[in-house]
Amino acid sequence: MSEPTPFALSKLFTDLIGRKVTFTQTTAAAETKVKQMYGIYRLLPGETAIVVKSDLPLLGSLAGVLVGLPDAAVKDHLAATPVEELLRDAIHEVLNITSAVITHQGRAVFVKMVTDPMFLDGEAGKVFKKPDHRSYFNVLVDGYQGGKFTIFAPFAPV
């Protein structure tokens, strides 16, 4: 499997929200206390999975721009538990659209998002716990909070 490139990811999200989004590939970073969101994708053909782990503020920023929320309002929405429906639905759509660039081999279909890794079941759980490859990115969103974005894949890049 080819690895998703920072360029492809940056272009997808910049085109999506109409603001500059910059993905920079990094090495693994220490875990933080920032809230996370996990996207689960079925990889077709076959029955494997891809998992995306993202800082919630980053997804909130991308989603917030989509629905016209300023940065301060995004932070307020994210502070609510659970996250308010307007932003939650937009985050869901951001993760759905991510499926277009998450793999260059086969077809990724977004299944669901979860807030805790304990809900990563089946193939997603296996890939998350023991991926053949991880792609780490730092992401900047012009005028909004950025964050970390990691892809857990069942194949190493070729």
Partner 1 sequence: MDILLVDDSKTMRGIVQRAIRQAGFRGLTIGEAENGVQALEKLSAEQPKLILSDWNMPEMSGIDFLVQVRASQNKVPFGFITSEASAAIKELAMKSGASFLLTKPFSPEAMQEALSPILGKC
Binding site residues, partner 1, CB under 8 A? 12, 15-16, 63, 66-67, 86, 89-90, 92-93, 96-97, 99-100, 107, 109-110
| Closest distance of CB 96 from partner 1, Å | 6
- Burial class of 19 by CB neighbour count within 10 A (0 to 12, 13 to 18, 19+): middle
Of residues 26 and 97, the one with the C-beta less far from partner 1: 97
Of residues 99 and 150, the one with the C-beta less far from partner 1: 99
| Closest distance of CB 6 from partner 1, Å | 17
Of residues 16 and 140, the one with the C-beta less far from partner 1: 16
| Closest distance of CB 58 from partner 1, Å | 17
Residues 6+ apart with CB under 8 A from 14: 20, 21
Lookup: tokens for 46: 């076959």
Specify whether the CB–CB gap between 4 and 52 falls below 8 A: no
Q: Number of C-alpha atoms within 13 angstroms, CB side, residue 103?
A: 25
